[in-house]
Amino acid sequence: MPGGPPIREMMMTVRIETIASTVSDNYFYALADSHGRAALIDPVDVDAAVARIRELGWDLQWVINTHWHPDHVAGNAGVLKAFPEAQVVGPAGDRARIDGQFSSTPRGGVEVEMRGGETLRVGELELQVLDTPGHTEGHVSLLIDEHLFSGDVIFSGGAGHCRAGGDLGTHFATFHEVLGTLPDATLFYPGHDYTERNCEFILSIEPEHREAKAVLEQAKALKPRERFVSTLGVERSYNPFMRLADPGLRQALSSRYGEAIEAARAQSDDEDEAVFRCLRALRDRW
């Protein structure tokens, strides 16, 4: 189903558009097969979403939500009003919280549930549904070829917070068991771009980290509302949430944030998970 300018032709002739929201700091995505049968992923900005689908002449079949947070589902009803033949697809684990936001509107809640291990079809395209909980209880991501629509699970240089219905231990497991198994070449399409701020956070812990410095310069060179594009391989070189066993990172945390890492160790016997918990707690306060 769903998923920046310019349109790119890929292995299964999937066409992907990145759309920058004008009503929030979100990015959301449209994707279509070679016949223009399309889906939108997390289209918070109704006007931008509708205008782009109409400009492209695509046949919108699905509105897909990765999780329940309002900045990802608020556009559902407006998009369906413009494209009444489309339906909302949402994660079974977050369905109740999505539906609850549309109790006073005719449509906008989940009409088709999806679960990890299932496949969503958009015309000739097949998207693999991956369970990626942690940011929310029911968060899912969608994978087609080497393209991962990851919602708020991972960001360039960071990881999603767990302050609104999430769980840190579960989020760590998603990084370890799901993201950690995907190839380096996997491009991911996040719901926000916090690259500059995340790199500044990394450098507050590891001031001489070469890759983080390089990414920060690249991010600063982007035009306003131009998204930093990254792969999981790039993230493994500098994103601390993907370098949990890095001796340099662990030493930096111990020397600069000894109390924080000890507090995290009190919550988990797994050292990688303790580092993950420590990093997220520090980032929440930073």
Name the binding residues for Zn(2+). 67, 69, 71-72, 135, 152, 192
Contact 13, 126 (CB under 8 A): no
Question: Which residue ranges make up the annotated binding site?
Answer: 67, 69, 71-72, 135, 152, 192
Give helix 258-265 / helix 247-256 axis angle, nearest 10°. Answer: 110
Residue 126 CB partners (closer than 8 Å, separation 6+): 12, 119, 120, 144
Give the dihedral sign, CA 210/211/216/219.
positive
Burial of 245 (0-12, 13-18, 19+ CB in 10 A): exposed
Q: What is the DSSP string of 207-260?
A: TT-HHHHHHHHHHHTSPTTPPPP-BHHHHHHH-GGG-TT-HHHHHHHHHH-HHH
In this structure, the chain runs to a length of 286
Separation between Cα atoms, residue 107 and residue 46, nearest integer Å = 14
Separation between Cα atoms, residue 93 and residue 39, nearest integer Å = 21
Separation between Cα atoms, residue 37 and residue 57, nearest integer Å = 10
